[in-house]
Amino acid sequence: MSTSSPAPQLSDINVEMIEDDDSSIAIMATFYYFYMLLCIVIGLTGNSMVWVLIRSNRILRKLPSNVYLLTLSAMSSLFLISLFTFWLEEEGLLRYRSAILCKLLTFVAHFCDFSSVWLIVLVGFERLILLYRASRAMNKAKAQRHCGVLLIASFLFNSWILFVANVNEMGDCDILPEYEFLYAVMNTVETVFCMGLPSGIILISNLFVVLRLQSHLKRIPSSPTVSFNTADLLTNSALPPTTLKPASVARSSIGRLSSRFSLSADASNVRKRHHKNLRYADLQLTRSLLVVTWVFIALNLPNYIYRIFTHVIEIDNQSVGMRQISLFVHILLYTHHALLFYLYIFYSPQMKKRLLPTALKLLECYCLKQPAELSDHT
């Protein structure tokens, strides 16, 4: 599938040449196709787990960052499904006899690739705004609008693939010869807008998030401070009862009135401090999302550096070393799709806490009910 950027291109990895060329590459290619299928299964399972965990909890559903992550899991699942068709093709179990299927699957791979990167950018921005401008923090409606605009932009940006991809004489999904130059230009543009620019944005925003996160964590005490100063109460209770005079009643009324104003002022100050100091749960979520964004960059960046060397600088990609590098960077790419949401689940205390109750609830709903109960509910 030479048109699909997430999958290795036929010009990069020629399976027939591998068999007769170098035994180390042949072994690596065998491992590569096995590992690809493993990542597809693990990735689809992890994406489903995140979807169930978030959608089954009312609080988690309302978090703006989870709106972005749900969309990201959907994009990752579509990518893995298109990758599965590539695996079937390479194993000889599927041939692209339909031009429509060829165009659609190639478009989906590019569309999901573009959307996933910029969804990570949105996650980073949402955390950045929360830490620096809490009064302008995102909400669920804004996050849904952002996702809608991004998906439309991704569709328009990658729509050119629908015109240049087709089935060639060999039955493979490939670029039409008359569009080779357009493909080379768009591949360079895609490398810039799909990884270069968003990677820079993510790195800078993450650095600012780390700096602000440290300052917020320093404001949180290691243990709550509780006052046990009851000396005044004991002294007052030990005094004998006295008859209140009118002047004393007046003074006590004024005291209660002033204390009421003092309490309201204190309450407003507390609200301001709470508004300024974020909840510890928000800081924990920010920390777990930082792990997700850093891992995303670390596992995606090598693939795009390889593309820059092969398509922009035009280094020969048929040498033994470059073919080994091509296999390696694509293994990293598939690892990201397999493990990213597992990292989010197990690094986020809120998600990890919901894992067992959600599993038990699903088990109770679908496995432990009698057929009569299921028929009543349906």
Residue in 69, 201, 198 with CA at minimum distance from that of residue 143? 69
**What is the pLDDT at residue 367?**
62
CATH number of the domain that 102 lies in? 1.20.1070.10
Residues lower than pLDDT 70 in the chain: 1-22, 94-97, 135, 220-281, 359, 362-378
Could you give the CA distance from residue 320 to residue 324 in angstroms, rounded to a whole number? 6
Quick check: is 369 in a domain? no
Instruction: Look at residue 260 and tell me if it is in a domain.
Output: no
| pLDDT score of 298 | 87
pLDDT of residue 97: 65
Q: Which of 21, 5, 2, 3 is nearest to 318 (CA)?
A: 21
Instruction: Identify residue 275 by its one-letter amino acid code.
Output: H
166 close to 98: Cβ distance less than 8 angstroms: no
Please tell me the total count of domains within the chain: 1
The answer to whether 201 and 195 are in contact (CB under 8 A) is no
pLDDT digits (tens, 9 = 90+) for 228-242: 343 443 344 444 444
Phi, psi of 359 (to 5 degrees): -65, -40
237 within domain boundaries: no
What is the widest separation between alpha-carbon atoms in the chain? 109
- Domain annotation covers residue 145: yes
Amino acid sitting at position 73: S
Range of the domain at 292: 15-219+275-352
* Position 32 in a domain: yes
Tokens encoding 4? 């699909």
What pLDDT shows up at residue 229?
42
Q: What per-residue string of b and e applies to 72-81 under the rule 16 or more CB within 10 Å gives b?
A: bbbbbbbbbe
Calculate ∠ Cα 119-1-7, nearest 5°: 40
Token pair recorded at residue 242? 């006295």
SS3 at position 165: strand
pLDDT at 307: 80
Contact 323, 12 (CB under 8 A): yes
Given this model, what pLDDT does residue 370 score?
53
Q: What is the pTM of this model?
A: 0.74
Residue 235 forms part of a structural domain: no
In a domain, 36, yes or no: yes
Question: Nearest CA to 341 among 59, 57, 7, 48?
Answer: 48
pLDDT in tens, 325-364: 888 888 888 898 888 888 888 877 777 777 777 767 766 6
DSSP H or E run through 359: helix 349-366
Tens of pLDDT along 58-94?
A: 888 888 888 999 999 999 999 999 889 888 877 777 6
pLDDT of residue 2: 42
Residue 248 covered by a domain: no
